[in-house]
């Protein structure tokens, strides 16, 4: 199992949807034991600057970028991607 880093922005609707999906997917599941660092790039630009991404949320498993949101994504698509990230971390 590997840790996950999630880069988010304050007020970002896609970040809010990703957090909602994460909460739903980890509630009582095997995913709940995965360590996740939620990094707000407004508060920690020095950390965010070391990673290659453009849109938030962006999720890394270890040092590998597994998901980067794109404008226009609906909740179901975001949730599928969050679950893919959790599966990747769990099986790593």
Average pLDDT over residues 63-81: 96
The count of other CB atoms within 10 Å of the CB of residue 44 is 12
Q: Which of 26, 34, 78 is nearest to 68 (CA)?
A: 78
Average pLDDT over residues 51-79: 96
> pTM of the prediction?
0.93
**Rounded-to-5 percentages of helix, strand, coil across the chain:** 40, 20, 35
In the predicted structure, residue 28 carries a pLDDT above the cut 90: no
Place of tokens 């290659």: 52
Contact 85, 67 (CB under 8 A): yes
Q: What's residue 60's pLDDT?
A: 98
Average pLDDT over residues 45-67: 96
């Amino acid at each position: 199992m590997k840790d996950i880093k999630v880069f988010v922005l304050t007020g970002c609707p896609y970040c809010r949807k990703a957090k909602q999906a994460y909460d739903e997917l980890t509630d009582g599941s095997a995913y709940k034991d995965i360590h996740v660092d939620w990094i707000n790039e407004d508060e920690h630009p020095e950390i965010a600057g070391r990673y290659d991404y453009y849109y938030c949320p962006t999720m890394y498993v270890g040092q590998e970028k597994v998901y980067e949101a794109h404008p226009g994504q609906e909740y179901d698509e975001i949730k599928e991607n969050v679950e893919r990230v959790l599966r990747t971390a769990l099986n790593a």
